[in-house]
Amino acid sequence: MMFADRSLRRRIIFTLCALAVFRVLAAIPVPGIDTVQLSNLLNSNQLLGLFNVFSGGGLSHLSIVMLGVGPYITGSIIMQLLTILSPRLKALYQEEGEAGRKKFSQYSRLLTVPLAAVQGFSFLVLLENQGVLPHLGIFALVINLAVIIAGSVFLMWVGELVTEFGIGNGLSLIIFAGIVANLPSTVGQLWIQLQSDPSLATTYLAFVVAAVLVIYGVVVVTEAERPIPVTYAKRVRGMKVYGGTSTYIPLRVNQAGVIPIIFALSLLLFPQMIFSALTKLSNATIVSLANSGLTLFNNPWFYATLYFLLVFAFTYFYTAVTFDPHTLATNLQKNGAFIPGVRPGDPTSSYISTVLTRITLVGAIFLGIIAVLPMLGRAISGNTTFAIGGTALLIVVSVVLDIAKKVDAQISMREY
């Protein structure tokens, strides 16, 4: 039935073709890579391993799209942070409708270019210091940097095309495609390890059980809602009576989805890349401070704690940016609706804010646990293959649920 609808079939085919283009680009590496050294670096550095997930697997091959959609996501983060400081940007994002959001997105796109330049330069310096890349001259550095920036901007464009003409969120699908594409090699690596050491069977079984529990938890929390009852007052117009019906407002436990984890990861990676770039300077004091910063970020307990706190904070922040209780309360009052037992206006806004704060606490703690779950997996098993399990599962399950809802909505719309 899904492929029987011509429009839906076109959207699915367009999405698959766009993802195929992305996977081809992700397999084209920059020249002169030491693949063994790159693999060792990704396995030893948890943050880079996680960034490889969010780059769609582009970093593992040091491809021309090695930054993935990271710069665009970082640009979106900065723009949304600025809505707190700038009432004009906040009005543009929340009050000016579709035209305002398009202009807001355009600012994020423009910000992507300088951010891709900074991140690309920092990555090239970091990889050169680690012996993954040979020493780059000025000309080679500029050429590689230009290619990386172009790859990131092109990937941003592909993601937005998928969002508009395909099925689901394009940026999430790019990350999803990278995770799924790496699945066969991961399974093969686990199989080889199991054949060489059969005693690992118990550990693998335990992680399969853990994965099932994580998937179950992700589905439950993603689908969980707190309904707020709403009643519409009766209105008499002429000989007819309007209103008097009851409905509810569904407040999701996890309003932010996987966005807080992406936000937190982007902020955690940025200082590390800056410190790596500063180690190339000739000033001994700056180099010493940069090395101290890198040592601090390489401490697993430090970044796990910071990662959890950032995910927790960004869950509340993103929910506050995308959901405005005051606007909802105003719209309810204008339409003659009220929450039983709560006065319209500011009391309604305060009530919705209180409920939202309480249920978001559950979602924030859950996302924080999922974020640090990779570190626990590595600490328990000592196996780097499980290092990105929780985050990857969260992304995969969330994207699959979102696609299923979008497809179901398209089919239902055409049936009616």
Q: What is the mean pLDDT of residues 354-381?
A: 81
| 377 located within any domain | yes
| 155 located within any domain | yes
What is the tally of structural domains in the chain? 1
CB atoms within 10 A of CB 235: 11
- Asked whether the beta carbons of 53 and 388 are under 8 A apart, the reply is yes
pLDDT beyond 80 at 342: yes
* H or E element, residue 386: none
| 162 located within any domain | yes
| 122 located within any domain | yes
Task: Tell me which of 370 and 60 has the higher pLDDT.
Answer: 370
| 1 located within any domain | no
- Asked whether the beta carbons of 2 and 415 are under 8 A apart, the reply is no
- In this prediction, residue 247 has a pLDDT band, given cuts at 50, 70 and 90, of confident
| 282 located within any domain | yes
pLDDT beyond 60 at 383: no
Please report, for the domain that includes residue 20, its CATH number: 1.10.3370.10
Residue 97 is predicted with a pLDDT of 66
Prediction pTM value: 0.74
Weakest-pLDDT range from 124-128, 178-182, 254-258, 378-382: 378-382
pLDDT beyond 80 at 70: no
Buried b (16+ CB within 10 A) or exposed e, 350-369: ebbbebbeebbeebbebbbb
Residue 396's nearest CA partner among 387, 406, 385, 388 is 388
Domain coverage including residue 289: 6-415
Strands 240-242 and 235-237: antiparallel
- Asked whether the beta carbons of 333 and 345 are under 8 A apart, the reply is yes
Residue 390 is predicted with a pLDDT of 63
CB atoms within 10 A of CB 370: 23
